[in-house]
Each structure stands twice: as C-alpha cells, then as structure tokens.
Structure 1
Amino acid sequence: MTATPSAPGDGLVRAGAIVFIVGAVATLVTVAPLFLGTEPFPPIAYAVCMLMGAGFVIAAGGVLRSVAAQRRAAKSVTPS
C-alpha cells in the first residue's frame, strides 16, 4: 500500500470535516427534544449547531488552497 503525499489544504479539509460532523451531531441532538416532547436545550446548544456551517467553510477553504497549489505547480511545469 502506497501512501500519497499530503497536499496543501488536506489538513484544512480534514479539520473542516471533523467540525462539520460535530455540528451535525449537535444539530441532531438539539432537534431530538422537539420530536420526543421533552424540555428543549438551552440556546448555547443551538449555537453549537453553527459548527456545521463553519466546518463546511473550513473544508471549502482547504479545497481552494489545494486548487491554488495545483495551479501554481502546473504553471511552473508548463513553459511560457
């Protein structure tokens, strides 16, 4: 099994995915009391749900950074 080298932006994509998953789980936990008929969570729990969007933005930044690095590499190889 060969290991591929880490490209620029890979860390941001991984971190964004983790933050997104934490936000998605928080969203499911926050919405559950509405369906179960129990006491809703405090407002800070709803703020944690915003991590889902923040994770998406972080991952998108990683993808854009990777694209920029690939473009720079392609420009340096291609003769002008």
Structure 2
Amino acid sequence: MHLVKISLELPGDLYCELRRRAAEEGKPVGEVILEAILSYLASPRSRSNAYLDILLTPVEGAGPEDYCVEYGGEDVD
C-alpha cells in the first residue's frame, strides 16, 4: 500500500478530544483518523467498496503501525 502524508487543520477542542479518545483506546491519533476515514468510505453511499476490500485485506505480519504513520507536524514538500 502506498502511503501519502497529509496535514489537516482541526479546531483545538476537537483535536484535544481526538487525542483523549485515542489515548483511552491505546491507539495513535493517526490510526483513529484512518479508522474513521475507512468507516466513512465503507458507508452505503460509497462506490469504492471494492477498493476498500483490497485495502482492508489483512497482510500477514502487518499491524496498524504499518498502515498509518504519525509524524511531528512538519511541512511536507
């Protein structure tokens, strides 16, 4: 899977809640965001379910850290 780094702007209170919930679940923030995006794309209105089947097919030996990389917020060229 090809990974793409993105940056997004969130309201401060939303980001604090996101970090708190991620910590409660013992997950990195990036993993929680990835799960939310995948859930959104898998909704009935989505036409990309075939693509999601490919994305969600487990790869032997791979873990969540292989699918989402959280970085320190530096700008990406």
Q: In proportion to residue count, which structure has more helix?
A: 1
Which is greater in Rg? 1
What TM-score do you get using the length of structure 1 for normalisation?
Answer: 0.30
